[in-house]
Amino acid sequence: MILRKCHQILASHSRLIPLTVGLALLGVVGTIDWWTGPELDFSLFYMIPVCFVTWYGGQRFGYLTSMVSATVWLLVDRLTGAGASSRLVVDWNFATRLAFFAGSVLLLKGWKNVARTLSNLVEQRTLELRKLAAQLSAAEDAERRKLAYEVHDALSQSLSLIRMNLDAMQVELADNVQGVRRLVDSSVMVDEAIKQAKTLMFDLHPAMLDDLGLVPTLEWFSRDFAQRTGVEIVVSEYGKRLSVQTPVRNYLFRAAKELVTNAVRHGHAKEIVIVTHWEASGIRLVVDDDGSGFDNSVPRSPGAGTGLGLAGIDERVQSMGGRLTVESRANQGSRVVIELPIPSFVQEV
Ligand SMILES: Nc1ncnc2c1ncn2[C@@H]1O[C@H](COP(=O)(O)OP(=O)(O)OP(=O)(O)O)[C@@H](O)[C@H]1O
Ligand SMILES: [Mg+2]
């Protein structure tokens, strides 16, 4: 943590800071070299200020430090009596040390350039992938909505007409007991099919999301979920409602459904609380459960073999400029928070 802070300070401020620190380091190395005498070899340590200044201060200051480093080394050699007797050898030593330092500066600079290029490339690719993920999600939404309307128009309406015909036939064939019984059985089956079509439509795309918004749809979902599973879901909201753009609203609903499913499937939760906070800075959706909890330190990524739910939400929320936070401990339930900023995705009603 401290090291990261120091790295940030050195990387973000004037290049004179690394130069000053590097020269101070060189002073320390030179003093220790002089103090320990000619027997102890300190060649490696003269590299430290050179590398440090090159990394944080750039190539030019790196060469400057190389020069000063080679000079200090020469001075210390003289002071400790380690210097050669011939002037030519002294010059040669100075020149080879300087060349070695300068070569290291060049190598280090090249390495830093490669590292920067790679890091830029990774950043650019990550952005492109996020954009693609957002487009895929929007396309999935559109497809789901289309399917939901098709199920409504083609299937549900036909089933309702069949149901009405069956009712009419029951009246017409009133004296045929066997026939009426079969018609009643068929009506029950058609009712069941209508119910299934409704569930399918809701799973694909709840029309009420478009009409009523996120929280009423979550309330409807929670009632239906409680009826089907016996798990109680409490839905509430705080603050003045915001009008959320369609893809964001659809995604938040799907994410909440995934979190509820996780709580029941993995945590065996009996009670779940979904709270939507409408805040000046954006939306905060909090899903709490009283389930078994889990080890949240396991890395979440599509390739980590831990499922796609949370990793997918994390990725998508980040692509919208938001943040996913998971707090969970064994046997203490889980809390998942999705935060989305206001600027590009939500506007006040
Ligand atoms: N609310 C929760 N309670 C207990 N464990 C959870 C909870 N949410 C997630 N987990 C744990 O985290 C893991 C990852 O969840 P995630 O939703 O990413 O994947 P998954 O549910 O296993 O698979 P997928 O969502 O792709 O069908 C789960 O396998 C489960 O062990
Ligand atoms: Mg899941």
**Residue ranges around ligand 1 (CB below 6 Å):** 262-263, 266-267, 289, 291-294, 306-311, 334
Average pLDDT over residues 286-312: 78
Q: What's the whole-number mean pLDDT along residues 244-249?
A: 83
pLDDT of residue 212: 87
Torsion angle, CA of 7/13/19/24, rounded to 10 degrees? -60
If you take atom 30 of ligand 1, which residue's CA is the nearest one? 266
**Which range has the worst mean pLDDT, 3-17, 139-153, 212-226, 250-264?**
3-17
Per-residue pLDDT, 155: 87
Cα 236 to ligand 1 centre (Å): 24
Give the pLDDT score at 348: 40
Q: 293: pLDDT confidence band, cut at 50, 70 and 90?
A: confident
Task: Please compute the mean of the pLDDT values over residues 162-176 and round it to a whole number.
Answer: 88
Query: Which residues sit with Cβ closer than 5 angstroms to ligand 2, an ion?
Result: 262, 309
Q: Which pLDDT does position 331 carry in this prediction? A: 82
Probe ligand 1: pick from 233, 261, 266, max atoms within 8 Å of CB?
Answer: 266
Q: What is the pLDDT of residue 304?
A: 58
For residue 264, give the nearest of 287, 289, 286 by alpha carbon.
289
pLDDT greater at residue 243 or residue 266: 266
Of 257, 270, 273, 294, the one to substitute when testing ligand 1's pocket (max ligand atoms within 8 A of C-beta) is 294
CA-nearest residue, atom 11 of ligand 1: 294
User: Which whole number is the average pLDDT over 303-318?
Assistant: 79
Predicted confidence (pLDDT) at residue 347 exceeds the cutoff of 70: no
* Rounded Cα gap, residues 234 and 271, in angstroms: 8
Residue 174 or residue 256, greater confidence: 256
CA distances from 95 to 43, 92, 103, 251, 280 (A): 14, 5, 12, 65, 64
Ligand closest to Cα of 313 equals 1
Dist. CA 182 → ligand 1 center (Å): 46
User: To the nearest whole number, what is the mean pLDDT of the chain?
Assistant: 86
What percent of the chain lies above the pLDDT cut of 90?
A: 43
**Best CA proximity match to 197, nearest among 243, 251, 160:** 160
- Helical segments of the chain, H only: 2-12, 16-36, 47-57, 59-80, 87-150, 157-172, 177-204, 207-211, 214-229, 246-265, 309-319
